[in-house]
Amino acid sequence: MLTGKTKHSVRDAKIRYADDPELCPVQAWTAYRTRLVAEHGQHWADPSTPAFVGIDQ
């Protein structure tokens, strides 16, 4: 997973699977992105899209 606040601070973070599937951040992330794509379109499947949907107040 690429992380960073700016394009100059991007790094490739390694996130491991947890032993308990209910607490696993990798499985939670995968489920979140799968649902996001299903509900809001295929463009959210692109790895270059933002990690989370913005909220406009």
Express each pLDDT in 12-29 by its tens digit.
Answer: 667 778 888 888 888 888
According to the model, what pLDDT value does residue 39 have? Answer: 92
Q: In one letter, which amino acid is 21?
A: P
What percent of the chain shows pLDDT beyond 90? 12
1: pLDDT strictly greater than 60: no
Both structure tokens of 1: 């997973």
With a CB cutoff of 8 Å and minimum separation 6, the contacts of 17 are: 24, 26, 27
Average pLDDT over residues 2-8: 60
pTM tops 0.85, yes or no: no
